[in-house]
Structure 1
């Protein structure tokens, strides 16, 4: 009851001026959360620029050097977007990267920071690529639209592999190499990355074996990319049933066997074989045999290639005329002895040393040896735990495409004694794994009515 002598007033609640202005056209504007900042969609074009233009980056000589800059671009887009989803294994990635960064304190020369920074940039870029691709898929961007840049990257790798087959002596200085200061060009590692060579061969041999390597400086890097990309190509073919890209991949897959065999990469065969064995074993335990069909097709195609290319004879000739095996074991033994002197943080990066049989840096010839020597035992353990966590999560895949993608972490583990991939191949690995993780964690937009080339 109102007090005597005081007139009662009715107070009417009013909406804020901005709300009133738009309330008639935006019925939900006054609902809770209406004024929350909406996350922007991530663009796909940076991924295209990064992966699809591989031949251009190689011809310019900046393939390895431009990669970290793309990583910075992707990180900037992720940072401005907000609402980023983090995939499985992110914590282990961050711990691993922290340990790698700390190992820089073990460098004995200031100039070594250039090479260390490049390698760290490739690790960070791989991590960012994985998060970026994962969020693209979770945002329901069409699977083909996200996967096509990596498919074009595969076509570039195959095409440049054939350049090594048809023009094995192709060797020219790149524009970037010519622009480098003399002091930087004198660094062997930098020169290898900037120079254009279609193959890798022993320049001291009287009868050299030319092994396809482009766009990479070393043929082992080509073999590593092949290991990671073949399951992706098979996953793409299982997911996309029509379109120009599917036709291109169907044609390129058997064609890729020629440069692949001519690399004579034993570790590549071991890695792919382990991935296939892993998939077949999983399917056999579940009483399914659907994976046998593509495996049999690939094996038959490989056998046909060996009828024209004496692969096993070439491998035997290579191992009998060189000390490649003894060189590797000598490096492994010396690397392990050096690791005992600095087990926690390693030495920052591989170190040049004349071994008994060859002049090669300690901490090379395999991912495990590079991690142990350069970054220490804890970083190495963390990296392997990361790969095992990713493999376990991807084991939940049930589709044919998902099964092929789930084999990639296993392949990555198996090839570590033979090949290192602290280079653009780390981004390839993370791209493929992110496609699989996104499909396992949520719905995937597989609309095929708009399948771009």
Structure 2
């Protein structure tokens, strides 16, 4: 793309290349540098209503660094470089997202038309479906990225960093009692794929169906149907709930013939799905809620730990002593299932609770609730879609970590709402 919109195009249209290079969502940190330079030259900079909450969230994360060397009772975690690297990466991402929103909101409609931005998100949806199919058909596909080769071991060996810089097609887990590949390409993990595909589908529908001609609409139907395969194979219950609530939201908020057409399409789609082999896989997943106990243990331990620093949190994640099955911490030769995810890894809300205390979690919720309240009356396609994404953020924060790529898409959706109101 030409003109000042080129960093946005580089991020969204070029995202598969960033993923292959090993940057993935960290591309926003790289591109935030030219965005900040251009913004500085275009002063004064406009700021959206409610953005003070995000600034307070960012300031709170800065204060939480004071607690990096501490650990609440009943927890442990790596000290030194590993903990600092994780904190620094999250801080860089939060700052970059702030710059991204301001940059999008200060571009004119001539420099970056709304429909162009929406359709760029639609192109990323196509790449996401392709990555999901790769995860289904070739789950073992992975490679060492250029960034991974260049990183020193003390950084590249950090589990959080490793997930970001090592491209893989799928994440294999024993969800159904046997090894099940869950698509994650071109994102950092399977849950990120689930969150992102649902958000991108919203914008794909706006750009390719609502504002599309006959050929684009036909392609949209085919791609949406194709997406059903990796969506089911993702075994992602949060994604399935999000899609169901999205369909209900659209049916309730649109009227007239559009509502009748949507209801008819939903019934037809449900019938086709029920007769397909995919329905049996969904039934298996619902019969194997293996992660419920793990999540319950981790969330409870997160809240208990955060209560010892409720205002500013601990700056980074910690691990609980023991897990939902045993007091033994981590995997051993005699207990391969004793490992557990770090505190705060079961949802962005819980990550904020442990890293920034209950104050940070409240600011995050208030930011997105405020966006819904301000833009609820906007019944344009972008307005309806943006409010839906803000609602999905509030749902997914309970089960999905927002870092890295999900938060990028959440904040781009917020910027679309802001641009629409201007």
TM-score by length of 2: 0.85
Q: Which residue of 180, 200, 208 corresponds with 1:237?
A: 208
The aligned residue for residue 404 of structure 2 is: 423
The aligned residue for residue 117 of structure 1 is: 88
Specify the SS of the correspondent of 1:172.
Answer: coil
**How far 1:147 moved relative to its partner?**
2.8
| More off after superposition, 417-426 vs 302-311 | 302-311
The aligned residue for residue 304 of structure 1 is: 272
Mapping 1:27-426, distance limit 5 Å: 43-108=4-69, 109-111=79-81, 112-137=83-108, 141-202=112-173, 207-237=178-208, 239-242=210-213, 249-283=220-254, 290-291=258-259, 293-294=261-262, 296-298=264-266, 300-301=268-269, 303-311=271-279, 313-318=280-285, 323-353=290-320, 354-357=322-325, 358-426=339-407
Change (3 A) 1:295 1:382: farther
Counting matched residue pairs gives 397
Please list the CA deviations of residues 185-220 of structure 1 after superposition, one character each: whole Å capped at 9, or x if unmatched: 322221222222111112799820111111123211
Distance, in Å, in 2 between the alignment partners of 1:382 and 1:344 is 11
Distance, in Å, in 2 between the alignment partners of 1:85 and 1:263 is 40
Distance, in Å, in 2 between the alignment partners of 1:309 and 1:73 is 48
Specify the SS of the correspondent of 2:107.
Answer: helix
Specify the SS of the correspondent of 1:234.
Answer: helix
Change (3 A) 1:142 1:67: closer
Specify the SS of the correspondent of 1:264.
Answer: coil
> Would you say the 8 A contact 2:176–2:284 is kept in 1?
no
Is 1:434 the counterpart of 2:415 in the alignment? Answer: yes
Please list the CA deviations of residues 289-345 of structure 1 after superposition, one character each: whole Å capped at 9, or x if unmatched: 73453465256335524533434x435545656731111111111111111111111
**How far 1:81 moved relative to its partner?**
1.1
Please list the CA deviations of residues 361-418 of structure 1 after superposition, one character each: whole Å capped at 9, or x if unmatched: 0111111111101111111111111111101122121223421222111111011111
| More off after superposition, 154-163 vs 174-183 | 174-183
> Would you say the 8 A contact 1:351–1:362 is kept in 2?
yes
> Would you say the 8 A contact 1:50–1:70 is kept in 2?
yes
**How far 1:274 moved relative to its partner?**
2.9
Distance, in Å, in 2 between the alignment partners of 1:345 and 1:292 is 49
Please list the CA deviations of residues 48-74 of structure 1 after superposition, one character each: whole Å capped at 9, or x if unmatched: 111111111111211133321112221
Please list the CA deviations of residues 259-308 of structure 1 after superposition, one character each: whole Å capped at 9, or x if unmatched: 1111111111222333343444445xxx7573453465256335524533
> Would you say the 8 A contact 2:3–2:111 is kept in 1?
no
> Would you say the 8 A contact 1:365–1:417 is kept in 2?
yes
Specify the SS of the correspondent of 1:47.
Answer: helix
Change (3 A) 1:310 1:146: closer
TM-score by length of 1: 0.80
Distance, in Å, in 1 between the alignment partners of 2:55 and 2:263 is 36
Report which of the two structures shows the higher radius of gyration computed on alpha carbons. Answer: 1
Unaligned runs of 5+ in 2: 70-78, 326-338
Distance, in Å, in 2 between the alignment partners of 1:202 and 1:418 is 17
> Would you say the 8 A contact 1:346–1:375 is kept in 2?
yes
Change (3 A) 1:322 1:275: closer
**How far 1:113 moved relative to its partner?**
2.0
Distance, in Å, in 1 between the alignment partners of 2:214 and 2:7 is 23
| More off after superposition, 297-306 vs 418-427 | 297-306
